[in-house]
Amino acid sequence: SKHTESALVKHGDRGMTLEQEINESNQYYLAHDIAVIHKKPTPIQIVKVDYPKRSAAVIREAYFRQASTTDYNGIYRGRYIDFDAKETKEKTRFPLDNFHQHQVEHMRSCLKQGGICFGLIKFVAFDQLYLLKATDLINYWDARNHAGGRKSIPFTAFQTQAIPIKYSLNPTIAYLDAVDQLI
């Protein structure tokens, strides 16, 4: 539609990463009392900190650590929400190694507690974004090391199994509309 096209142009103009688009959408949802969802800070192992006189502490040596959870969580309509966001340049498939074992295990644990868990997967070549339910993701993940299992999820599976998310102006990506279909 015309509306979608102009939103895509606008979105392209601004050159935002998927993370920026999600953060902006979360700010909109928070400001409008729709949901409280935040990205977790990047985990850092701090080794050395300087404390200069009369100014802020400076971290002088630190290393990136592997996260033990997904990147985003929060609350929406009384439900615990938990997801990760991934971009791929591939056009025919989403390689499963974009996810890490601990992220999949974390989603498995959250599902057991009754959480709403999913991946937000963007095919940047088409500017197409999908919500993939964690149960579907986990099925592909668990199958990948078995006979006949694939190392990736075919793009066609997103078209049939996943929920497409349209770009809009406010919020940039209305991914909670897709979550409504899971609740």
Q: Under the rule (CB under 8 A), what is the footprint of a second copy?
A: 30, 33, 35-36, 38, 40-44, 46, 56-64, 67-69, 73-80, 82, 106, 109-110, 112-115
DSSP label at residue 43: P
Of the pair 114, 148, the CB lying nearest a second copy is at 114
| Closest separation in Å from C-beta 29 to Mg ion | 19
What is the C-alpha end-to-end distance of the chain, expressed in Å? 27
Least distance to a second copy, CB of residue 95, Å = 23
**Token pair of 41, please?**
């800070």
CB atoms within 10 A of CB 179: 21
Nearer to a second copy, 107 or 129 (CB): 107
Q: Does 71 bind Mg ion (CB under 5 A)?
A: yes
Q: Which residues pair with 39 in a beta bridge?
A: 72
Neighbours of 173 (CB within 10 A): 26
Q: Residue numbers of the site for Mg ion (CB under 5 A)?
A: 71, 84
